[in-house]
Amino acid sequence: MHYRPLGRTGWKVSTVSFGAWGIGGSWGEVDDQESLAALNCAVDLGVNFFDTADVYGDGRSERLLARLRRERREPIIIATKAGRRLDPHVASGYNRKNLTAFVERSLQNLETGSLDLLQLHCPPTEVYYMPDVFGVLDDLVAAGKLRYYGVSVEKVEEALKAIEFPNVQSVQIIYNIFRQRPAELFFKEAARRQVGILARVPLASGLLTGKLSASSAFAPDDHRAFNRHGEAFDRGETFSGVDYDSALAAIDHLRKLLPAGISMAQLALRWISMDPAVTCAIPGAKRPSQVEENVAAADLPDLSPELMVSIRKIYEESIRKLVHPYW
Ligand SMILES: NC(=O)c1ccc[n+]([C@@H]2O[C@H](COP(=O)([O-])OP(=O)(O)OC[C@H]3O[C@@H](n4cnc5c(N)ncnc54)[C@H](OP(=O)(O)O)[C@@H]3O)[C@@H](O)[C@H]2O)c1
């Protein structure tokens, strides 16, 4: 495993970390014993950073992580998120009363007195123009309820605005072979301000593992069935917002570039860490075998410049127009 500094926190986090949305819910049925086995496997292999949210399985994901921390001696950093319990999900809901209540609930779920890293959970764009919200977060840090805070964003523009707030330590954004725009301007700005970057949806919801096909079926409670067109939340969170047929065609091209001895998932994850501005990727995983495959990507050698150029070409020719104007 390799580790990189996260913002100005002083932490060094595993370049392949763990996204704990799937083990909470919205990805079909999951079994807590298997999820715990996946989490333990990650710790065994050197993963020290876990991303969750209060709404993943309505706290189920946070509680699994609390249990992991109780059962392991290794230092584990847990990043959670707040905001999505708001209904309706509006900017005015990001106020002192609500944020404080969300934090208190996550403290309970995570069985801790202080959250390591709290991220605003893809709030409406307006929130980035409301300095009072960040003032509340500063107060929660001063009160010892949070060690640090950051944001999770949908759009590059939101990321650029968020890092103007001096105490934002991390930005979580979709960055993968199908979402290359963050690297164009945002990564340079984040690096200049020493802000950590958490690359979410690194496998494009499983597409970039190469295992999905036109006949793949998803359970009704899997967002890959119920959010294909953004029916429940931003459509970019499902398959990175790339329509399924275009994505499969691009994957066929990618498959031809695969170097011997590595899997598609590993190519996708190693591609992310090729950019030194990225702190870590946070692939979701439901079972130990997925963790083992994903974590092994951290120790692969650099991808060749020729391979990087070929991947870029596939993005430019088939994907860019589908995502660039939106996020
Ligand atoms: N708004 C936000 O802040 C937000 C939104 C989305 C995600 N996130 C965070 O980012 C994390 C990662 O994104 P994500 O979970 O949406 O998508 P992802 O990491 O691109 O895909 C994860 C899914 O791919 C499949 N998979 C993983 N490793 C595999 C392997 N080696 N072989 C085959 N299949 C594999 C698993 O699902 P199956 O086995 O069911 O195919 C897994 O649940 C989340 O867990 C969450 O922590 C945050």
Q: Best of 23, 86, 205, 235 to mutate for ligand 1, by most ligand atoms within 8 A of CB?
A: 205
Mean pLDDT throughout 25-50? 97
**Mean pLDDT across the stretch 22-43?**
97
Q: What is the pLDDT of residue 244?
A: 96
- Nearest residue to 204 via CA among 309, 287, 323, 317: 323
144 and 176 Cβ atoms separated by less than 8 Å = no
Rounded average pLDDT over 209-228 = 96
pLDDT at 247: 97
Q: What angle do CA 54, 59, 60 make, to 5 degrees?
A: 135
What is the per-residue pLDDT across 283-313, written as a single tens digit (0 to 9) for each? 999 999 999 999 999 999 999 999 999 999 9
Of 16, 21, 30, 244, best ligand 1 pocket probe by most atoms within 8 Å of the beta carbon: 21
Distance, CA 207 to ligand 1 centroid (Å)? 10
**pLDDT digits 0-9 by tens, 88-111:** 999 999 999 999 999 999 999 999
Distance 144 CA to ligand 1 centre (A): 31
CA 70 / ligand 1 centre spacing (Å): 24
| Ligand 1 contacts CB of residue 211 (under 6 A) | yes
Task: Tell whether ligand 1 has an atom less than 6 A from the beta carbon of residue 293.
Answer: yes
pLDDT at residue 127, rounded to an integer = 98
pLDDT tens per residue, range 155-211:
999 999 999 999 999 999 999 999 999 999 999 999 999 999 999 999 999 999 999
Number of the ligand 1 atom closest to the C-alpha atom of 84? 1
Note the pLDDT of residue 242: 97
Mean pLDDT score of the chain, rounded to an integer?
98
Sort strands 12-14 and 3-5 into parallel, antiparallel or unpaired. antiparallel
Nearest CA to ligand 1 atom 37: 206
Residue with CA nearest ligand 1 atom 44: 19
The CB-based long-range contact list for 318-324 (8 Å cut-off, 24+ gap) reads 318/246, 318/249, 318/250, 318/253, 319/178, 319/242, 319/246, 319/247, 319/250, 320/180, 322/241, 322/242, 322/243, 322/246, 323/178, 323/179, 323/181, 323/236, 323/240, 323/241, 323/242, 324/181
**Residue with CA at minimum distance from ligand 1 atom 33:** 209
Ligand 1 atom closest to Cα of 203? 20
Kind plus residue range of the DSSP H or E element containing 309: helix 305-314
The Å distance, Cα 206 to ligand 1 centre, comes to: 7
Phi-psi region of 214 (alpha: psi -120 to 50; beta: other; left: phi over 0): alpha
State the closest ligand 1 atom to the C-alpha of 119, by its place in the atom list counted from 1. 3
Answer yes or no: is the C-beta of 60 below 6 A from any ligand 1 atom: no
Q: What is the pLDDT of residue 158?
A: 98
To test the pocket of ligand 1, the residue of 64, 119, 177, 200 to mutate (highest count of ligand atoms within 8 Å of its CB) is 200
Mean pLDDT of 48-68: 98
Q: Find residue 171's DSSP bridge partners.
A: 151, 197
DSSP 258: P
Contact 13, 4 (CB under 8 A): yes
Is the CB of residue 14 less than 8 Å from the CB of residue 47? yes
Are the beta carbons of 298 and 42 closer than 8 angstroms?
Answer: no
**Residue 277 Cα to ligand 1 middle (Å):** 21
- Percent of the chain scoring above 70 in pLDDT: 100
